[in-house]
Structure 1
Amino acid sequence: MSEALSIPGWRHLYSGKVRDLYASEDPADTRILVVASDRVSAFDFVLSPGIPQKGELLTTLSTWWFDRLDDVPNHIVEGDIPDAVAGRAMLAMALEMLPVECVVRGYITGSGWAEYVEGGTVCGIPLPAGLKNGDRLPQPLFTPAYKAPMGEHDENISFEKVVELVGAERAAQLRDTSLSLYARAAAIAEEKGLILADTKFEFGTDADGTLRVADEVLTSDSSRYWDASTWESGSTPEERMASFDKQIVRDWLAAHWDKQGEPPALPEEVVAKTADRYRELIDRLTA
């Protein structure tokens, strides 16, 4: 992982798989600077090389979605972004982050499909027989995961485990807010000829205990987007699920890496195709 930038007036706090966090050097300023890098991750590994301009693309899309879902409290605050990270950073309030990734699945694919094939369930939730890869689920599912520390693998957990982690009232709030945000975002995407197959949200609480959507929201990194027309007409899973996200990266890794040791470097054509799909998603959503 590359070293964090030196940004005048800001002190580096933490680097995740994709984002770097900074605190103001002014003790009176409690805001956090959230900088999206060009790093790309898959299967809990940061890969090489990064995706050119990915940080700007993710920030553009997150900001666009935050603006459309602004009736739900989020972490964005007003202020000037330092020139060094202009276009790929957001100013945010400091939150107490909850250790739960709030995944919502509206369609069956990926690890959910693999589990369904094996036992007819997704994250332990029984589903009807006869579903095909890429099918729409009878209703969206809330399938949370435990946010593992850096370097460890996230773990799918039951709703009961979420209750143990954050309490019954907060767990219900996480579930209901996530499902509501997904439904609204999926409807907006549908108007643009896109399917929001699944996504994940992260939440934190402010000093008053208010739950706020944080980190990124509904980006190509945190979501699966498909072309609706291709999904309706496709005869194979690959045709049905023509994606606007990092599925290209996942697919290449799955074909060229046995998940042992460090993953191989991404070829130039995979990097270029991924960047193109990220840009196309933004163009289609914001047109």
Structure 2
Amino acid sequence: MACSLVLLLGQLSGCATRTPAPADRDGPPSSPPTDLSRVPDAVPRLEAIRIGGPNKPYEVLGERYLPITTDAAYAERGLASWYGRKFHGRPTANGEVYNMYAMTAAHPTLPIPSYARVRNPANGREIVVRVNDRGPFHKGRIIDLSYTAALKLDLLRGVAPVEVRRITYAEIRAGTWAPAAGEPAPVYVPEAPQGAPQRETTRGASAGGHWLQFGAFTRLDGAEALRQRVAEADLGLLPLLTIVREAGRHQLRAGPFPSADEARATAARLRDEGGVEATVLESR
């Protein structure tokens, strides 16, 4: 995610995309403006997708990225991070000035510029951001939010799971990108990568089948932190992770799995490859 690295490679011009060095860490502003939660979402409008520039193929840290250059639909689940004062005032991938108080975001491959709806499944909050930068370039992360965008989703405590859906030209023209008043938040179902195993998403921890339990916490923050760790160890489990409140404790579980053998195999892989311990449960 380092802008300087990308510039040296000659792949992108003027970007706030980042890999902070330990001695120069990013963080929140020292004196943020009041009422940032009242900052309005980005309002989608028709903007031409430029061929080349920030939308040309590029390489960062040995990985090659092919940005989308058409008005294509896009939906994905993954981890979100945010960037703040270190990059405030610096140029983004399309040459605009990064404003950590605006409703913007960086994405590795979405067209620049474009608009996306981002939802925090942990609390149901959702926002609309304008994508004008490239990044993040950490495994498992799919979007970097501005400071204010992360604040509105309650994601300032760290990396957390989100759902991202691009708003298409057709939705902008028709005005259907904004949900009607009182309409429940949409559920985004990303397309599975070709060749990926087909699984049902979480149906609720009371459903039958075989489950993995990772831990139980008095505070919700503890379960959320563990969910982040498990997702980073195996991003494919993200749609299956859920936090259940039972007997006054927040329990992190994944499932249901079609068989006890698959649940045990997943637990063994997480233990051996990610150092994450899990117990196999069976709900009836």
TM-score, normalised by the number of residues in structure 2: 0.27
TM-score (norm 1): 0.26
